[in-house]
Amino acid sequence: MEPHAACSCFGVNGKLVIFILLSLCLHVCLSDTNVRNSLMTVEDAEDESETEAVVENEDEHDLQDMEVFYPTREWQVVKPGQAVPPGLHMRLNLQTGRNEAKLPDGHHDTDNQRPAPQSSSFSEAYTKKELKEALAKFKEGHNLKSEQADVEEVKRRFRPIEDLKKEFRELNLNIETDFDIMTKIINRFNNSVSTTAEKVNALYDLEYYVHQVDNAQNLHRLGGLQLIISSLNSTEPSLIEHSAFVIGSALASNPKVQIKAFEGGVLQKLLAVLATEQPVSVKKKALYALSSLLRQFPYAQQQFLKLGGLQVLKNFFKEKNTEPLFVRVITLLYDMIMEKILLQKESNIELAREKKHQYDQINVTEAITEQGWCKIISNLLSLPENDAREKVLKMLSVLTASCKDEFLEDRSLHDLLDLLRNEFEEFVEEEEKSEETDGYFRELVGLVNEISDKLK
């Protein structure tokens, strides 16, 4: 460092000059050390929180980027906080009390320009954002090996997307629609060389598809519906049973198919199956198909009554081993009666008017009363299952007005109602103790009381 000539002007002795020079050297060394330590603190930060701690140590009012001192061949004042590149001549101006620095002698700076960015580690300002990005890149480089290992592991465990796309394209070539599958099944069923077992298997497969509305309608378009209706005339009970099963599944809640099946003569064929001697399993499926045809189809109900359908069903109660059909029959008749009753609550006036005109053509309740069903239904209260009792009680409730005379004369009915009331009330107490909320037995008690009140 060069001593300042102004020292002699104050008349200071040699010891003072030496002391000032030592102080200047110590100040320069400490300034250089602080600058280097400041840089190292940022570079050695291991995470983002340490970087933020360094930035927060700056003057909270000075939010500008760190200022860099750009030296020339002339002495310049070094402002507090400026980053000073290493290798410069520095001095303390005793007149102003400020640090000054310049380029060493012999350094070429003919253009008096700022150093190029690559000439100094402080060649450009560093913002908070840039320090964070630099730290993130440092971390990325630190974890590069582990990331590469993860990539290799993914490549090992998963197949390339192009290979998967190729296989998907190949699979798409073999995909068949439900329509295609049903066509093959119907052809298999209609094949003249197919055995009864093969036809039964075809019907079993077909029943799976016709639950869907569109598939059931496609069954008619393919001609399969009429083929299956015709097979109800078969002499093979297994073929009749599975044919009725397919018909029942196809007709359920599907008005278009109901109409097509009715036009195809399915009502007459089902009544013929139910009226002839057949295994109970066959009649069960035929009754299922009949129920699917009659529900929400008043014209079919009208024809059912005209063709003696009630008498056919009544015969079940005289035959042997037909007990599994009793509740099914009562449920079908109850639904037919309730359809007409619920029509009065229809919100769509136009639709209700049209339906009402159709239901006015039939009177299931009157037909049941005339054909002697009142006694048959009341006797069913002796069935042991509560589910069966519930359905019978509901049927008795809607028939009380038309069957009142028969019910009043039937003392066994009153005794059964009293027994059921006592039994159900015990179950109600158990429900309350167990805190069950469905109130199933309380509802049954309500039905029994309702019927008893109507018969007073």
Distances (CA, A) of 253 to 22, 175, 293, 297, 317: 106, 29, 9, 10, 28
pTM comes to 0.63
Which of 454, 362, 372 is CA-nearest to residue 408? 454
Mean pLDDT of 10-25: 52
Q: Rounded to the nearest 5°, which phi and psi values hold at 84? A: -105, 120
Torsion of CA 198, 203, 208, 212, to 10 degrees: 140
Residue 373 tokens, joined: 């069903």
Question: If 0-12 CB within 10 Å is exposed, 13-18 middle and 19+ buried, where does residue 225 land?
Answer: buried
Q: Are 105 and 161 in contact (CB under 8 A)?
A: no
How is the chain split into domains, by residue range?
Answer: 5-108+122-139, 140-172, 177-330, 374-456
With residue 118 as reference, give the H or E element that holds it: none
* Residue among 199, 210, 205, 212 at smallest CA distance from 240: 199
CATH number, domain 177-330? 1.25.10.10
Write the pLDDT tens digit of every residue in 223-241: 999 999 999 999 999 999 9
CA-to-CA distance for 246 and 211, rounded, in angstroms?
9
Per-residue pLDDT tens over the stretch 248-291: 999 999 999 999 999 999 999 999 999 999 999 999 999 999 99
pLDDT in tens, 298-334: 999 999 999 999 999 999 999 988 999 999 999 999 9
